[in-house]
């Protein structure tokens, strides 16, 4: 794994959260994107080398909505950049980590992604992400 690529924060309403985080970070949101497969709307902020991704549910059955219903708004996941997502998935599975998807899937920001089950990572949802152009 390379650097922390982004930190994902579950929010109830981007129209409220985007201005809040723009004030907090003193920088504008540089991009919003809908990820249909995850049923979420995302908003991105750049802080140094790390991005912050706000995630708003677009469906009552989405993972983000379930997270908010259970835990409220807050940090949802930490994403790490990897050079070869399939090799990293194999390595981590061999080390005993539980992968939430068998193959990388399309995520936001032109990334291929895979999540590790929080039960195998001390309660922290970890996302592996690789720039699609490197795949």
State the maximum Cα–Cα separation within the chain, in Å, rounded to a whole number. 43
Query: Stretch 30-37: mean pLDDT, rounded?
Result: 94
- Structure pTM? 0.92
Q: What is the pLDDT of residues 68-115, one digit of tens each?
A: 999 999 999 999 999 999 999 999 999 999 999 999 999 999 999 999
């Amino acid at each position: 794994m390379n650097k922390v690529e982004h930190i994902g924060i579950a929010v109830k309403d981007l129209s409220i959260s985007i201005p809040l985080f723009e004030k907090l970070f003193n920088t504008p949101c540089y991009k919003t994107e809908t990820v249909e497969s995850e049923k979420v709307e995302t908003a991105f902020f750049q802080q140094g080398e790390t991005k912050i991704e706000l995630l708003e549910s677009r469906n009552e059955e989405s993972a983000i909505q379930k997270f908010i219903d259970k835990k409220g708004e807050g940090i949802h996941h930490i994403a790490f950049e990897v050079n070869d997502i399939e090799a990293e998935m194999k390595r981590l599975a061999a080390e005993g980590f539980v992968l939430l998807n068998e193959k990388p899937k399309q995520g936001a920001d032109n990334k291929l992604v895979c999540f590790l089950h929080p039960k195998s990572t001390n309660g922290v949802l970890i996302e592996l992400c690789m720039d699609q152009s490197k795949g």
